[in-house]
Structure 1
Amino acid sequence: MPISRRRLFLVFGAVLVVLAAVNVADKYGPRHTGLVAGPLVALALVLLARHAGLSWHDLGLSRRTLLPGLKYAVGAVLAVAVIYGIGIALPLTRPAFHDVRYHLHLGAALLTAFIIVPIGTVLLEEVAFRGVLLGLVRKHRGAAWASITSSVLFGMWHILPSLRLGQANQAVGTVLGASPIWPVLGAVAFTALAGLLLCELRRRSGSLLAAAALHWATNGLGLLLAAALTATRLA
């Protein structure tokens, strides 16, 4: 079903307003706001996109692409596991895993990696950026513009969460210094590039499942390894 340009801009603007509100609430609201807001907002965005005329395939939620998405998902998780394993084994890259945000005991690390990250972070971000926004822009401007727009917005989404990144992560603080500006710019650039990779994975597989798996592996496995490394150092 064709989407008029006016409807596209209205829905696109509505999605951005909702995401901005969620971003602020998650940063400055009660702890784990995203754990409740994430699934609810993701559902609302899907309903809004469907009402605007996007198909399940446009959103990366078609049953036809579930199996290809699953294959890409498994490959993505394994690839991240190998890369992280090499990174933590090498003294040069090991400081990147020294992050005070992940000084967690085993139970808290498992809860964060397998509950909070997938439900409170990955679900909303993948539905919003690789599902709804990507689908809306692709309808009128094609895949390239859709990937670029989605990824730039994904980078900007990480401005608030990265305000104390230089203090939280040893490697980032060492390389970029204590000033909050450079770590924020670095985080925005890095996540925008990561967004392009996630968009490409979404395009190749046709499924949000593949991008969500890579997204979770990057965050969840990194968190588990950082927590394990911290526990080892403190033992």
Structure 2
Amino acid sequence: MTRVRVFILAIALVAWPAALERFPQRWRPLIGAGASWVLAAAAGIPLGLRQHPLAAGLRLGGVAASVVAAIVGASPALKAVRTSMRERDIGLHPAAWLGLHIPVGTVWSEELAFRGVLQPMAIGAFGRGLGAVVQAVAFGLAHIRPARAAGDSILGTVLVTGMFGWLLGWLRERSGSVAAPMLTHLALNEAGAVATLYVSRSNVGLGRESASN
């Protein structure tokens, strides 16, 4: 029965992005965060956000976040990455993207649901190794719809996000706190967003300069 519950939760989390699209975009971050909070509260699984686990999570997460931010920040040096960033249609005000949609709608919501609830349940049902894989696979599959909407490779997105989900799960288990994967996830998305905005604005500036010459 425990394994059945895990699969039901995994399927629900994979389908959640499609359900969330039915709401106005400006409300999605708050609805997603609220739903994840209710899920975590109902599950009653310790999130490691108090005392010693929190300190351990902040330490490990800080190190991982620094490494991730440095790598992502340097990625525009690659031509393929710059091209992809230029072509991306954000569709949001930068302040809303950086200050609400990423930290609340993505990081908080996904970490509570996947690393806070699904992973401990999956590990309890399948063991540490397979449980971590179940969580990572579900995390990857949950990004199919966003990848399709952005015009990205679906297979590539699922593989990359799945591997990143496994890493985030490892950070959660290693530190005992969801703070570690939260910081790392936040660093990845915020650094990527800042780099995208920088490349996009640089491209606009170059276009204006070329037009004036």
Fold shared per TM-score above 0.5: yes
Q: After the TM superposition, which residues 189-208 of structure 1 pair with which residues of structure 2 at under 5 Å, given as runs? A: 189-208=159-178
For 1:92 and 1:101, locate their aligned partners in 2 and report how far apart those are by CA, in whole Å. Answer: 16
Q: 1:39 to 1:90 in 2, by over 3 A?
A: closer
**2:195 paired residue among 215, 225, 229:** 225
Q: After the TM superposition, which residues 27-66 of structure 1 pair with which residues of structure 2 at under 5 Å, given as runs? A: 27-50=21-44, 54=45, 56=46, 59-66=47-54
Contact between 1:26 and 1:33, CA under 8 Å: does it hold in 2?
A: no
* SS class of match (2:24): coil
Query: Alpha-carbon deviation of 1:28?
Result: 4.0
Q: 2:85 corresponds to which letter in structure 1?
A: F
Q: After the TM superposition, which residues 1-235 of structure 1 pair with which residues of structure 2 at under 5 Å, given as runs? A: 6=1, 8-9=2-3, 11-13=5-7, 15-16=9-10, 18-20=12-14, 22-50=16-44, 54=45, 56=46, 59-91=47-79, 93-102=81-90, 108-166=93-151, 183-235=153-205
Query: Alpha-carbon deviation of 1:42?
Result: 1.3
Instruction: For structure 2, list consecutive stretches of 5 or more residues without a partner in the other structure.
Output: 206-213
For 1:26 and 1:9, locate their aligned partners in 2 and report how far apart those are by CA, in whole Å. Answer: 26
For 2:14 and 2:157, locate their aligned partners in 1 and report how far apart those are by CA, in whole Å. Answer: 18
Query: Alpha-carbon deviation of 1:147?
Result: 0.9
Q: 1:22 corresponds to which letter in structure 2?
A: W
Instruction: For structure 1, list consecutive stretches of 5 or more residues without a partner in the other structure.
Output: 1-5, 167-171, 173-182
Count of residue pairs the alignment pairs up? 205
Contact between 1:130 and 1:199, CA under 8 Å: does it hold in 2?
A: yes
Which residue pairs with 2:210 in the alignment? none
Q: 1:137 to 1:21 in 2, by over 3 A?
A: closer
For 1:17 and 1:154, locate their aligned partners in 2 and report how far apart those are by CA, in whole Å. Answer: 10
Identity fraction in percent: 29
Over aligned residues, Cα RMSD in angstroms?
A: 2.2
Query: Alpha-carbon deviation of 1:102?
Result: 3.2
Query: Alpha-carbon deviation of 1:192?
Result: 0.6
Query: Alpha-carbon deviation of 1:154?
Result: 0.3
Q: 1:85 to 1:123 in 2, by over 3 A?
A: closer
Query: Alpha-carbon deviation of 1:24?
Result: 1.5
Flag the structure with more relative contact order, 1 or 2, with Cα contacts below 8 A and sequence separation at least 6.
2
Contact between 2:119 and 2:135, CA under 8 Å: does it hold in 1?
A: yes
Query: Alpha-carbon deviation of 1:188?
Result: 0.9
What TM-score do you get using the length of structure 2 for normalisation?
Answer: 0.85
* SS class of match (1:220): helix
For 1:18 and 1:103, locate their aligned partners in 2 and report how far apart those are by CA, in whole Å. Answer: 26
What TM-score do you get using the length of structure 1 for normalisation?
Answer: 0.78
